[in-house]
Chain A
Amino acid sequence: MTALTNDHDLHDHDDHHHHEAEAADRYMFGFWLYIISDCLLFSTLFATYAVMGQSFANGITPHELFDLNFVAVETALLLLSSFTFGMAMLGANVENMAKTKFWLIITALLGLSFLGMEIYEFIHFSHEGATPQTSGYWTSFYSLVATHGLHVTAGLIWMFFLFIHFNRDGFSHENKIRLACLSLFWHFLDIIWICVFSFVYLRGAM
């Protein structure tokens, strides 16, 4: 509100922006609360995994199956996608649609590659005799990792629809909020993955 002017229109305009900013704040805080409840969901899955950590029921163990090179590539894909989403946000800040879309597409491709690798891994593990029915350990493994994978899938679907919104309305107020929420969601998924590769894969491969 730096414009020192008596121009009624200009004042209204600023006021309008102020209200929009407040509305955006409320939306973002609401979405933040959702992220927190999602954190609690994952915490119960991690707790289950920790409790089931040694319950192999004489089945195959993670030590025999985990391939850390494979997991390192998955990790790199997701970490890079978190970074490229940041680049898309920077594009949106200056309302550069071409830049935003370019980085969003890169993010989606990285996310898709991650998902493809995860599905391949699940199929491979199942062929090796580690299905969700094999033991308590594998039940908790699939619950935890697949829940993360489902979130990534949801994020990709969201990204697709956001793309349609961008094509139709450009950088409207609503679209900016949608992008900011998706950004929060996507970074959150990468943070969950840090815990997954640390406590599931690295610990399991030791």
Chain B
Amino acid sequence: MSSSETGPGGQAHGSVKEYVTGLILSIILTVIPFYLVMSGAGSDTFTVIAIVVAAIAQVLVQMVFFLHMNGSSEQTWLTVSAVYTVFILLFVIVGSLWIFEHLNHNMLMGH
């Protein structure tokens, strides 16, 4: 029966190996940005890019290894709604920054 492989919500049950892999990858992706900022090893631009890349990578790692998302056909709605959310997130965050950047710029022109 399918329930031996998938749990509630059609999520795969996972295994110790999967969780340990997720944990180790997460630790690596946490240590790198912390080290870069605390040691000041790289240039500012490089450090910021490294922080963003490591954060995105770690979010993906946890979605795959902890939440067991794999984009399989049983998870179509899960995947579709997740992708939809990412778009809304980008609209809200990038949109806000963009609008306020313009506002700041235009307001300061008068001074």
Taking Cβ atoms with an 8 Å cutoff, the residues of A that contact B are 1-2, 14, 17, 21, 24-25, 27-29, 31-33, 36, 39-40, 43-44, 46-48, 50-51, 68, 72, 75-76, 79-80, 82-83, 86-87, 89-90, 93, 176-177, 180, 184, 187, 190-191, 194-195, 197-199, 202-203, 205-206
Contacts and interface: CB of A to CB of B under 8 A. Distances in A.
A63 to B, nearest CB: 11
A89 B51 contact: no
Given A36-B81, A83-B23, A194 B62 contact: yes
A198 B11 contact: no
Given A68-B37, A202-B34, A40 B7 contact: no
Contacts of B3: 17, 21
Contact of A79 (B14, B30, B37, B67): B30
29 contacts: A21-B3, A25-B10, A32-B81, A36-B81, A40-B89, A40-B92, A47-B93, A51-B96, A51-B97, A68-B37, A68-B38, A83-B19, A83-B23, A86-B66, A87-B16, A89-B13, A89-B14, A177-B8, A184-B9, A191-B59, A191-B63, A194-B30, A195-B59, A199-B51, A199-B55, A203-B48, A206-B37, A206-B44, A206-B48
Contacts of A44: 92
A30 to B, nearest CB: 10
Interface in B1-33: 1-3, 7-11, 13-16, 19-20, 22-23, 26-27, 30, 33
A2 B3 CA distance: 12
Contacts of A2: 1
B59 A47 contact: no
B70 interface: no
A85 B79 CA distance: 23
A176 B22 CA distance: 23
B89 A184 contact: no
A201 B19 CA distance: 26
Contacts of B22: 83, 86
B59 A194 contact: yes
Contact of B14 (A31, A90, A195): A90
Given A50-B93, A50-B97, A194-B62, A203 B77 contact: no
B55 A29 contact: no
Contacts of B38: 68
A27 B59 contact: no
Contact of B9 (A29, A48, A82, A93): A29
Interface string B34-55: 1001100000100110011011
Given A195-B55, A205-B37, 6 more contacts: A29-B77, A36-B84, A79-B26, A86-B14, A90-B13, A180-B7
A110 B34 CA distance: 21
Contacts of A184: 9, 67
A188 B54 CA distance: 17
Contacts of A33: 81
